[in-house]
Amino acid sequence: MENLVLEAIDKFFQILYYLILIRIILSWIPSIRYTAFGEIIHNFTEPILGPVRNMVDSSPIGGGMMLDFSPVIALFIMNIVCNILKGVVSVIL
């Protein structure tokens, strides 16, 4: 049971990781970004990237910057959350 839950956590975060990478690539290709495919990727990733972007934009370091570092920060935070969840599952199960 523990291995199944750990595998599900890994797969979930791996899918999110790839979706964010696809969104980064789509940001460089405006003609694809505004298609149905681009909207689907946006809808899946915005709940993660939006709050991170708001935190970065409101910080003294991130305010007014032209580059969006929120995907990199989100991937870093996701890695930490994934490891914490797997640790908790290992202790519980």
CB 26 within 8 A of CB 46: no
Looking at the 3D structure of the chain, how many domains does it have? 1
Determine the Cα–Cα distance for residues 19 and 41; give it in Å rounded to an integer: 6
Per-residue pLDDT band at 61 (split at 50, 70, 90): low
| Whether residue 58 has pLDDT greater than 80 | no
Q: What is the pLDDT of residue 67?
A: 75
Determine the Cα–Cα distance for residues 69 and 36; give it in Å rounded to an integer: 25
Helices of type H across 1-93: 2-27, 30-33, 36-58, 70-92
**pTM (2 decimals)?**
0.84
Domain that holds residue 72: 2-92
